[in-house]
Structure formats: C-alpha cells, structure tokens
Amino acid sequence: MLGLVGTLAVAAAVLFVVLPRGGPALPGYTATVRGGAQSSRGADEAPAATPTFRADDIVDLRLRPETEVSFPVHAAVFRRRAGGELERVDVAPAVAGSGAVRLQLLAAELLPEPGRWTVYLVAAPAEIPIEDLHPPGGHQALFTLARE
C-alpha cells in the first residue's frame, strides 16, 4: 500500500510505505512532522509544503500505529541530501510499548548542512534487523525537510 499522508502540525510531503513481510503484522501507521517554519512569498499564497528549520530548531518526527502493537518494535533513521548518498543517522528513535516511534533532534544534528533533505523513519518488528530502507515487514515514512 502506498499513499500520501499529510502532517498534523506542518504541511509536509510524507510518503508512507508498507513493505511485504512474514512474522508478526505491524498495523498501518500515520506519519507526522512538527516544528520548523513555513514560508510563502505573498500574503495570498499558500505556505510552502516543505518545513524549514534553523540549526537550533527541534525536529519532531512521529509514527503512530493505527492500533496498539503487542510485540517489540524498533526503529532507525536514514537521510539523503538532495543529489547525495543515503546514509544511516546514528540516533535511536524512542519507541513506546504501543509501537509508536518518535524522533526529537536538533535540526543541526539531523540536517547537518543547509539545504533540502529527505529523511526516512523506518520501523520494524524487533526481531528483524533494519539494515536499509526496506526491512522485511517494516514500515517507512519519508519526510521532505529543509534547513536554513
């Protein structure tokens, strides 16, 4: 299932992907981003769809399961600068017993240089290693963010 998911606090492009798998089934997830500023060029224009962060802003990314998960879940973060290589971010997102995933991090740590970034928050049953964006049975949320 592939769908476009809007955010709650900031309008952002978030792509949500359910990947095929075996073992325990993760429910559907909702992805949100909070923080950052929206920009527009004129009073009548809609705000930009890409949240923009200053280096000292907190980026708050969340994945919430549609129903509570009854087994351990873990998560990983990857990022790619526009035109750059994919890299894993050396942080451990918080995972609640319900299966909800949350990453709160300074923009300077998540988005180390100014520009446009794609950040991936990946969740999977704890028994399945997350070595790339597509762990068997995992969920992936894609966030398009920018840093000033």
pLDDT profile of the chain (148 residues), mean per 10: 35 43 75 76 57 97 94 95 94 96 98 97 90 86 95
* Exposure string for 53-69, b = 16+ CB within 10 A, e = fewer: beeebebbbbbbbeeeb
> What are the start-end ranges of the E strands in 6-138?
14-18, 29-34, 52-53, 58-65, 73-81, 87-89, 94-95, 101-106, 115-125
Residue 23, pLDDT score: 65
Give the Cα separation of 83 and 26 in Å (integer): 32
Residue 136, pLDDT score: 79
Q: Does domain 2-147 have CATH number 1.20.1340.10?
A: no
Residue 24, pLDDT score: 77
Residue 9, pLDDT score: 36
pTM of the model: 0.78
**Torsion sign (Cα): 24, 7, 119, 74:** negative
Which residue, chain included where needed, has tokens 């970034």?
117
Residue 49, pLDDT score: 78
Residue spans per domain, the chain: 2-147
Residue 41, pLDDT score: 43
